[in-house]
Amino acid sequence: MQPPKSDRAHRHRAIKGAVREYSLTCLSRTPTTLIQTRSTTKRSRLALAVFLAFAPPASPQRASPRVDAKPLVLTGAISLPNVQGRIDHVGSDFKGRLFVSALGNNSEEVLDLAAGIRAHSISGIPKPQGVTYSPEANKLFVGSDEGKLYIYDGTALDLSTALDFGDDVDNLRYDAARKRVYVGYGDDEAGAIAVVDATTNQRLPEEFKLGAHPEFQLEKSGPNIYLNLPDLKQVAVIHRETGKVSRCSLTLESNFPMALDEANRRLFVVTHAPARLAVFATDSGRMIAALPCAQNADDVFFDAGHQRIYVPGGEGYISVFQRNGADHYESLAKVPSALGARTGGYFGKGRKGFDVF
């Protein structure tokens, strides 16, 4: 999402000036726990790598590779000529297409990973942000910072309809079991998560009011939604069936993205000030580890097959971490992107594209 309309410069200066270590304390006594928090000065990634995270999930029982093996090997790059401005989130249809929200270009870019090319560009989306795909309905869903959810036919990529949520449609998550799209939207007191039926394109009456803009992840094998409420300095867990919301207070700030390891009940949170990958137990809220990572991360990806965490950072590096054993996480590498450093929220030296590993 875009940062809040006010105080962006002030918050950015405050974040840059913060140098002390932070810790996360869950003050709630509820057993359901922790979550992501996201900074209100969200930034784009420099070069969003195409990770194994975009492949179909592998079994977590697979043996982890040797930690001394190269964690990422650059195999190519996909150019995005004439795409201007910052890039936000990405999504996949898990059939070889990657959907790229080019927020600054007002377009959704469609990449063919097998061919290594940009296959299509959907224009006319004002400041696209979150994106998700429903294979069951064969539909593409794209959120806009201007407050609309755009729904496209998944084959021809023609616009089917647009739903108006008022402001800042950002994170989108798809629940395949129920064929529902969960929509994070709204700033300040209007922040909420809404639900859309992927089959009918209808907004459902089910909604979770939160009082702040959320970013979130869904459990696939359970009823919980893990989310952050950075403006309130809270994290929360929503039980989708009962609607109960459990909240925890934060002592750390500037947490952007999160990823979830459901099999091992671990939550990965990336912070900006300082730049850390923090690992939490979802059943207790206990911090397991906090490791230095790439700065200004906007996403984090967990690869269950390799038991690895990837953190692409805004300054042009990708941090890679290996899970070894129950609660041991090790930094493998800080891999430079092939595209160069980002400058002022844009890609450096006029180069825009994706690294493929």
pLDDT of residue 119: 96
pLDDT of residue 140: 98
Residue owning tokens 């309130």: 232
Burial of 86 (0-12, 13-18, 19+ CB in 10 A): buried
Strands 128-134 and 117-123: unpaired
Mean pLDDT per 10-residue interval, the chain, length 357 residues: 42 33 29 28 38 44 52 85 90 95 97 94 97 98 98 98 97 96 94 98 96 92 88 85 86 80 91 87 86 89 94 88 92 74 30 63
- Here the tokens at position 101 are 């929200």
pLDDT of residue 336: 83
pLDDT of residue 345: 27
Burial of 281 (0-12, 13-18, 19+ CB in 10 A): middle
Burial of 27 (0-12, 13-18, 19+ CB in 10 A): exposed
pLDDT of residue 261: 95
pLDDT of residue 253: 73
Closest CA to 64 of 340, 342, 286, 320: 320
Paired residues of 175 in beta bridges: 180
Closest CA to 278 of 345, 316, 228, 237: 228
